[in-house]
Structure 1
Amino acid sequence: MTWATDYAKLIVTTKELDLGKGNEWKETMVVPQEPGNQQPAPQGPAPAFVQNAQARNRVQLRVTRTGSFNIREIIQYLQSTAPGAEYAAHGDIIQLFNIIMCKPPSGGARVTNAGQNRFYPHEGHPGMEKYDLGSGLQALRGYYASVRPAVGRLLLNLNVTSGAFYKPLTLSSLLTEFRGRNNEQSEGFIRMLKVRAEYKKDKEDKPFMVKIKTIVGFARENLSAKPQVRVKRFGNANEVKFQYTDSKMPNAQPRETSVKDYFRIHHGITLQQPGLPVLNVGTRADPQYLPVELCTVLPGQPFNRLLTGDQTSDMLKFAARFPNLNAMSIAGTAQNIGNGQKLFRLRDTPGDPQVQSVQPWGFRIGVDMLTVPGRILEKPRISYAANKLLNTSNGSWNLANVKFHTGGRFGNWQVLVINRRGKNALYEDPRGEMASGEPLFGRLQAELVKYGLKMGQRVRTNTIAVDALTMENRASNNRILEKAFQDANELGVRLMFVIIPDYDRWLYARIKYYGDIDYGIHTINSIGSKLQKVNGQPMYLGNLALKFNIKGGGVNHTVAGTLGKPLDSNTMLMGIDVTHPAPGNSEGAPSIACVVASTDEYITQWPGSIRTQESRKEMVTGLEEMVIERLDLWVKLHKKLPSKIILYRDGVSEGQYDQVLLQELPSFYKAFEKKYGAEKNWPKVAVIVVGKRHHTRFYPTSQKDADYNAQRSKGSWNPLPGTIVDRHISGRIVREFWLQAHQGLQGTARPAHYVVLKDDVVFQADELETFTHNMCYLFNRATKAVSICPPAYYADLLCERGRYYLHSTLNENHDGASSAGFDANENWTGGVHPRLAESTWYI
């Protein structure tokens, strides 16, 4: 009999188990101890602490038969031509297939399962690939596998993935490399990390005892201890004391000792670094103290918190690879098996078509990549003022010698220069003298006018200096920033061009908060070194002009015929997204839900509604009110309600499709009842889910279909912009397609996945695909096609802006004692300043 398990709740076997009466089997089992943990059994009755440990190592098991499945039934279902054919157990059997496929890496040595069928070979595994991220972290290359139903067959999706992991160093070395700002930050970094503690007596090489422990934190006061012993927060081995009773001595009385003395007297270990903070590897209520110097970090532990900016850049360098490299990692070559196929034991030797790991289950898997038909959609032409048309090349174009379709308009505007005290990061010549930025600001203004913007008066430039951008200086820097916005508001400034010394997330967040929430002033940021760089300055100023124009209510460019049949100029496009707290964010931090909607026939202005809601809830709370806000603005601008609404829903997984229809769509209907009245007057609605975080990739089969210029020997080898696939890998129930509208400049391009959940508009397949493709050329702040269509993209951007409104809560790690609740000073719960609410302020 062959078996597999998900190591959580399910076991699948090739034969029925004899579970006895009632199809259920119960047993009490003892969990095996880690090697080296075994100690001689005590003579006589076991002490209480030994009895407690034995009780913790016993678990109650209950195995219940849930059903049996036949592979032939799902194949017949997938091959059925009957439109109403159903197979109620198809979800269960797909889950079982995934369990079977993941058995080899799940049970393999030196492989970490990071969840969602992602497996990473780590130290000691021949397939390990790593990259140093610094500060105690490394990137590992892993593989993702998922069985997918398609028309007439089942497919295995195997893809390369990357993740951040702790380095398997001694714990003291890890903390040294991490360089925490304080003990609290270091505690957050190592909290819940598993370590191997080796107990070695002085002058002995081999440990007499080994324990695997999970770090709860550093030592802290335990008020529930009986009897109470005061423990210094972050105390070291000399300072942390506790009471214990020596079980080897009859009638022994509780005595107090330090961690250092306990390890010396009871274990014969003289600590070499007693000044380090002591770890708690028990619980908050029942602490167990362990010195840092005994511990080594176990390999293959994922880092699930926020990376720093430099670490994110390094991760992208590691993860972004040419498509052919990823293809070879997965499938290999004629001479070598790919690491992906090795990991899942799909082949044993090169050229062997047999699948070794699944043969006992009665099926086989083809090991060659699947060839599917695709096509490349026609490139749209871009229109500017005076009907000037531009052709695109590889999904991009430039702004040379054009005026925006409609110029934006501003009142007073101002340049705010932010320098650092003691050093001017923007205009410092070799002699240390500050050069004037006014000529550059005048050149920017001239460029904006050249593109057709109608600029009001530029009031005097304001130059301020902030202290070093550290946690300690935030309060004083905050006051300096707020004063700059107060002054600008008194001068009637409606747009502020802010020049910052370098990118800092906190500084950016505060600028956006004061501008968007408190004072209603549009803000556009620029790093001084980039602004004054001579090479490429016209292009850089042009990119800034895109943002200026949109914030001023203008139209950058149009794509003719985008709202063609079956749509018209009375069609509203909407996007919805929800962003959630990341691991390491403040406990109780909220999620943020956003709804954006177009307001004009050019599909260029996208005001939105933004709210906080229950933590980690994906379906939008208060959606009815947000839809009404969008409809009211449409009526204000058009004097009538839209007749069609096309919704692109971002961020939902396949398992949540039904929730969109059952929970979110009714909120639209309630809004329609209030605004349209009788159901016969309601608009026609289409609901399309946009998927970004999936593992489907396409590799061109010929050079002519690849992004590669043979004459220049340059290109990414990705599919060409406009590549679409809508057959052979799609399911049999819902309409879906994969569209790569953009040019994949870095790494392997990821196509956007579109799934149609509802279509009252009755799109033809080509109509919807072409419409979606054309929209990808209408993104406001770029002169190139983007990877996902603007409704989803803008909803995602607005969610990201909301995270900056709650920067400390949602953009910083809070793993230590400070994570008891989100920052009370960040009390924003939704909305923006009324002066900005009807604009696309978040671009």
Structure 2
Amino acid sequence: MEKGLPPPPIIPPNVKPEKLDSPKHSLISRPGFGSAGRRISLLANHFKVLVKSPDEIFYQYTVSINSEDQRAVESKGIGRRVIDKLYQTYSSELGEKQFAYDGEKSLYTVGPLPQNKLEFAVVLEESFAKRGSPAHSGSPGEVSKRSKRSLHPNSFTVEISYAAKIPLKSIALALHGAEAEKSQDALRVLDIILRQQAANRGCLLVRQSFFHDDSRNLTDVGGGVTGCRGFHASFRPTLGGLSLNMDVSTTMILTPGPVIDFLLANQSARDPRNIDWTKAKRMLKNMRVKTRHNNREFKITGLSEKPCNQQFFPLKVRSSDGGKDGETLEVTVYEYFTKHRNIELKYSAYMPCLNVGKSKKPSYLPLELCSLVSLQRYTKALSSMQRASLVEKSRQKPQERIRVVTDAVKNYRYDDDPLLTVCGISIEKQLTQVDGRILEAPKLKVGNNEDCVPRNGRWNFNNKPIERPHTLIEEDQQYRRSGPVARVDKMFELITAKLPGPPQFILCILPERKNSDIYGPWKKKSLTEFGIATQCISPTKINDQYLTNVLLKINSKLGGTNSLLAIEQSSRIPLIKDTPTMILGMDVSHGSPGRSDVPSVAAVVGSRSWPLISRYRAAVRTQSSKVEMIECLYKPLANGDDDGIMRELLIDFYQTSNGRKPAQIVVFRDGVSESQFNQVLTHELDQMLKAFQHLGESKVPKFTVIVAQKNHHTKLFQSGSPDNVPPGTVVDTNVVHPRNYDFYLCAQAGMIGTSRPAHYHVLIDEIGFSPDDLQNLIHSLSYVYQRSTCAISIVAPICYAHLAAAQMGQFIKFEDFSETSSGHKSLTTAGSAIPVPELPRLHKDVAGSMFFC
């Protein structure tokens, strides 16, 4: 790309923009099936479901639970206990009907209840509302009374009101290709039945997955965190009929055991004296603990301000004659438990207490009396070490996964569930047989126009070295204790002083791993202020493959191309070779769970230099926290300009493609669920069209929009083989959607564990690819990832978008997200405007580079 030139408009500046009518798009149906490739017999972890009574009707009822003081009960745990008790007490009034309860507001029966509106009084023997009363909150006599009161019957009022009918046959209609409105509702009822069964077994429920704390399922990954293996189970409509998709699933839980052990592990502290209690307070909030001395459960609300032996509270002591009127003493928590309760405390005296009360009415417990309850989810981001440990310890070979999943379907005896039995639902016990095809690997061009034929999804670039660096510059020792931003500033001052001019490239060797605090400020400084390509490394083990991978990244950042498709170089890609075509990869990166103050980062990469499809430019913007739909594809400003992502990429395509405008755009979208497909078309595609309208374009390009999903639960296996499916395996029959246009593709060679195919959904296809042409294009785009010498599991543009979002997200790591921060406003769910800090724009010298590689 020529540097220093102003970006030319896609249209002449004097043309007045015409208003385009945004066409209304809807999901397309499958146009046919692919036939290319070598046939292969496969198995999928789908279990065929037979429905013998399809005319049954689910009745949905709204459930309202109120406590004695007329407050609505929100806790799922209490809700399930109340409804269980209701069934035990009033089964005759319910017409002996079995029901499925979702734990919240909905209840389902097969056939109607005796009345459309029912009201019941339900009594639980144990009061959940008061079981959290701490043991020290009064005199010993009062403690006894509190204990008795906590076991006093607790009353609830339950209202059950008719809401809707959901016919089971709507699933059969959907299986035959009809857009049955109620089919998703019926499938949801079936899934709720599975969830209820898991809840009755005491499992932790996470969406459609369930976990129990059998020690054989637990894997310690360090930091007080444990990987818990369970199962995903969901009913899915497929081309081959209704199936149960059963898969191994993993969630992260807090390692159960003494709270002090968790804190030591979480902070990598040698002993309690090294614990950072400010950090501990944030970490422990809302965790559930069980006490050793009275076996009760509490929720942690905070920590005491003072140590256990200095934290006073008022203790009311009865008079000597046993009367109610006694004096009130100020005693420490430590003194109360050791002297008044005769409980030995070995090490709690100098530690804060756990607060399990309310902010205005605290209740304290010594730390060593408390242990973390099992099956509590850990939702914070894992460290790189924890992730690596989890991956290594949770790998399963294909045959082992087949055995584990098949055993689970047999052991859980879903056929015996009373509700499924009423519907005549039975589930086969063996995996579904599937016909697959192995697509031929694309031929590549590498180096000086050399031919390269990948074998088993891989090729080799070893022993190609580059020139030695101009000079070596080391950080001044005196600045190593400074903050990350200050360290980076000083390092660039040193570089500027020692070099005769701006360097073309900097190799930065970090003292810690790449996720260190220095990384974000370093990338921000080099890419936005200086416009210099940089490569950060922190090698722990150096070999030929490591050096090759580093060199691949450096070459890409400096504008080199490591490999091209042979048909790309010779301009022979079907439907792309003759028509200017831009390929987009789109992704949104969200902050850590629970951090609603950190903005999300949207990234879109667009191909450049048509007819090539291996070089990309990235456009990245911040947007409202946790929002998945991309907000800045089109961004009109007050002065009439458009500062959106699409304009930036369209102009770049025009500049690098000899003044050709894209007549076709292939969009690859990552990270959206099936429930969001229509939003991609109505929101994101509409923004793209508005960007064209703003540029004055009267002719709208043809769009093909494809969603790529990695996080799904369909696995493919070779029949009778211990190995993973071969690279290039595609499946577009049997286990795919009965109407929508989707297919599974396993482009990568799975060397360890069990391969996960990518699940591609074609939402619209105005370009008109044949199934074979589209599958081959997507397969080929898995071979042009410039950082790798092997085919990857998802198309390269999506990987690039993910990298760009993650890297530029590091720029705002040290931003202050207070109300004074600059940036555009966004609305919270409560409707109040909060600022979204803007990302700094890339320097013009690197804006068009593949800086994200």
Same fold (TM over 0.5): yes
Q: Distance in 2 between matches of 1:697 and 1:581?
A: 29
C-alpha deviations, 1:668-727, integer Å up to 9, x for none?
11011122532xx11001110010111110011144xxxxxxxxxxxx711000000011
Q: Distance in 2 between matches of 1:212 and 1:765?
A: 57
Change (3 A) 1:576 1:792: same
Q: 1:45 to 1:791 in 2, by over 3 A?
A: closer
Q: What is the alpha-carbon distance in structure 2 between the residues aligned to residue 555 and residue 45 of structure 1? A: 77
Whole-angstrom distance in 1 between the partners of 2:589 and 2:682: 20
Does structure 1 residue 604 correspond to structure 2 residue 606?
Answer: no
Alignment partner for residue 297 of structure 2, among 212, 221, 232?
Answer: 212
Structure 2 partner of 1:315: 390
CA positional deviation for 1:619: 0.7
SS in 2 for 1:463: coil
Identity %: 26
1:832 Cα deviation after fit: 2.3
Paired residue type of 1:116: R
1:278 is paired with a residue whose SS is strand
Q: What corresponds to 2:337 in structure 1?
A: 263
Q: Which residue of 2 aligns with 1:102?
A: 195
- Between the aligned partners of 2:179 and 2:402, the Cα distance in structure 1 is 35
Q: Which amino acid aligns with 1:236?
A: P
Which whole-Å CA distance do the structure 2 matches of 1:31 and 1:759 have between them?
60
Residue 23 (str. 1) matches residue 117 (str. 2): yes
Q: 2 CA distance for matches of 1:308 and 1:38?
A: 33
Alpha-carbon deviation of 1:367? Answer: 1.4
Aligned pairs, number: 710
Aligned to 2:420: 358
In 2, the alpha carbon distance for the partners of 1:55 and 1:738 equals: 57
The residue type paired with residue 491 of structure 1 is G
Amino acid corresponding to residue 575 of structure 1 in structure 2: G
Mapped contact 1:355–1:364 kept (Cα < 8 A)? no
Superposed CA deviations along residues 788-816 of structure 1, whole A, max 9, x for unmatched, are 00121111111111332234689xxxxxx
Which residue does the alignment assign to 2:110? 14
Per the alignment, residue 308 of structure 2 pairs with: 237
Asked if structure 1 preserves the Cα contact closer than 8 Å seen for 2:127 and 2:151, the reply is no
Q: What's the counterpart of residue 587 of structure 2?
A: 577
Q: Which has the higher contact order (CA 8 A, sep 6+)?
A: 2
Q: Paired residue for 1:368?
A: 430
CA shift digits 1:293-343 (9 cap, x unpaired)? 111111111211122222211101122221111111111xxxxxx24542x
Instruction: State the Cα distance separating 1:641 from its structure 2 match.
Output: 1.5
RMSD of the TM alignment (CA)?
Answer: 3.6
Conserved 8 A contact 2:127-2:152: no
Unaligned runs of 5+ in 2: 1-96, 270-274, 635-643, 817-827, 829-833
Tell me, in whole angstroms, the C-alpha distance in 1 between the residues paired with 2:696 and 2:740.
29
One-letter identity of the residue aligned with 1:197: T
Could you say which residue in structure 1 is the equivalent of 2:694? Answer: 674
CA distance in 1, matches of 2:815, 2:286: 20
Q: Partners of 2:673 and 2:810 in 1: how far apart?
A: 25
Letter in 1 for 2:650: L
| Aligned match of 2:19 | none
Distance 2:107 2:478 in 1: 59
Report the secondary structure of 2:296's partner residue.
Answer: strand
Q: How far apart in 2 are the matches of 1:59 and 1:487?
A: 75
Give 1:24 deviation, angstroms: 5.0
Contact 2:132–2:298 (CA<8 Å) still a contact in 1?
no
TM-score by length of 1: 0.77
Q: Which residue of 2 aligns with 1:525?
A: 536
Deviations 1:419-455 (A, max 9, x none): xxxxxxxxxxxxxxxxxxxxxxxx6416xxxxxxxxx
- Aligned equivalents of 1:56, 1:836: Cα separation in 2: 70
Distance 1:51 1:487 in 2: 77
Residue 231 of structure 2 is aligned with which of 143, 166, 175?
A: 143
What is the distance in 2 between the residues matched to 1:375 and 1:758? Answer: 24
SS of residue matched to 1:87: coil
Alignment of 1:168-187 (within 5 A): 168-178=256-266, 179=268, 182-187=276-281
> Which residue number corresponds to residue 61 of structure 2?
none
Which runs of structure 2 are paired with 1:252-651 in the superposition (5 Å)?
Answer: 255-264=329-338, 267-272=341-346, 273-331=348-406, 338-339=407-408, 341-342=410-411, 344-346=412-414, 358-399=420-461, 444-445=466-467, 459-464=470-475, 474=484, 477-484=487-494, 486-487=496-497, 491-506=501-516, 507-527=518-538, 530=541, 533=542, 536-537=543-544, 539-562=545-568, 564-568=573-577, 570-583=580-593, 586-600=595-609, 601-624=611-634, 625-638=644-657, 639-651=659-671
Alpha-carbon distance in 2 for matches of 1:121, 1:767: 45
User: CA contact under 8 A between 1:144 and 1:160: conserved in structure 2?
Assistant: yes
Aligned to 1:686: 704
**Secondary structure of residue in 1 paired with 2:435:** coil
Aligned to 2:185: 92
Corresponding residue number in structure 1 for 2:842: 832
Question: Higher mean Cα deviation, 357-366 or 142-151?
Answer: 357-366
Shift of 1:90: 0.8
Equivalent pair of 1:485/1:514 in contact (CA under 8 Å): no
Partner Cα separation in structure 2 for residue 56 and residue 186 of structure 1: 36
Which amino acid in structure 2 is aligned with residue 743 of structure 1?
A
Q: What SS class does the counterpart of residue 67 from structure 1 fall into? A: strand
Question: Shift in Å at residue 27 of structure 1?
Answer: 4.8
| 1:743 to partner: Cα distance | 0.7
The question of whether the paired residues in 2 share the 8 Å contact of 1:104 and 1:345 is answered with no
Mapped to 2, the partners of 1:135 and 1:389 lie a distance apart of: 48
**AA paired with 1:120?**
F
Deviation of residue 35 (structure 1)?
13
By how many angstroms is 1:69 displaced? Answer: 2.9
Instruction: Give per-residue Cα distances to partners, 1:465-509, cap 9 Å, x unaligned.
Output: 558988x86476455444345547873113101123442412333
Paired residue type of 1:33: S
- Which whole-Å CA distance do the structure 1 matches of 2:685 and 2:354 have between them? 50
Query: Which AA in structure 1 matches 2:309?
Result: N
Q: Cα gap change, 1:253/1:669 in structure 2, threshold over 3 Å: closer, same or farther?
A: farther
Q: Structure 1 pair 357/130, CA: closer, same or farther in 2 (3 Å)?
A: farther
Q: What SS does the aligned partner of 1:800 have?
A: helix
1:5 aligns with 2:15: no
| Contact 1:444 1:541 (C-alpha < 8 Å) held by counterparts | no
Give how far 1:123 is off. Answer: 4.1
1:31, 1:489 → 2: CA distance? 78
How far did residue 529 of structure 1 move? 5.3
Contact 2:132 2:296 in 1 (8 A): no
Q: Counterpart of 2:163?
A: 66
What CA distance in whole angstroms lies between the structure 1 residues aligned with 2:479 and 2:155?
A: 55
